[in-house]
Amino acid sequence: MEETEKVIRQLEKDLIAAILRRDEDFLKQILADELTFITPHGDFFDKERMTHFDEKLVNESIVTDDIKVRIFEKMVVVTGRATLKSRYDNQDLSGQYRFTRVYFKRDAWQIIAYQATRIAEDS
């Protein structure tokens, strides 16, 4: 496996771990200042919104699989599936989601774009 792919796959694991432990410092490092995140509901979140955890959000587990890493010099596109056990203000958000994350390398790899879509339960 190419070195860049190894690094990105480890960053993906670190990202999930940071989300689960609510590690805002890690997120501030890995998310680019100009981050664009499109939520499964079509809402837009920026870095500020992504690095401050809402107390109403509880992520019990996040498991990713079907990860594909495509490398384009200073940009990497990661696609995959995430299975969440989560809730927001007692609303169940659990289920499977497809995601795309785009990393860009400056001094370090940072996520510049992120989009998630819920997989329909009848799929």
The model's pLDDT over 30-65, given as tens digits with 9 standing for 90+, comes to: 999 999 999 998 999 999 999 888 888 999 999 999
- Start-to-end C-alpha separation, the chain: 32
Are 75 and 104 in contact by the 8 Å Cβ rule? The answer is yes
Which CATH architecture is the domain 3-118 placed in?
Answer: Roll (3.10)
pTM for the complete prediction?
A: 0.92
Tokens encoding 92: 């169940």
| The pLDDT value given to residue 90 | 87
The model's pLDDT over 108-119, given as tens digits with 9 standing for 90+, comes to: 999 999 999 999
Averaged pLDDT for residues 67-72: 98
Going from N- to C-terminal start, the domains of the chain cover 3-118
- Reduce the secondary structure of the chain to three states and give it as a string: CCHHHHHHHHHHHHHHHHHHCCCHHHHHHHEEEEEEEECCCCCEECHHHHCCCCCCEEEEEEEEEEEEEEEECCEEEEEEEEEEEEEECCEECCEEEEEEEEEEECCCEEEEEEEEEECCCCC
| The pLDDT value given to residue 31 | 98
Tokens encoding 70: 């495509």
Tokens encoding 22: 């609510």
**Residue 121: band (very low, low, confident or very high) from pLDDT cuts 50, 70, 90:** confident
How far from the centroid of its chain's Cα atoms is residue 120's Cα?
A: 19
* 15, pLDDT greater than 80: yes
**Mean of per-residue pLDDT scores for the chain:** 94
* 123, pLDDT greater than 60: no
Pairing assessment for the beta strands 75-88 and 91-92 based on DSSP bridges: antiparallel
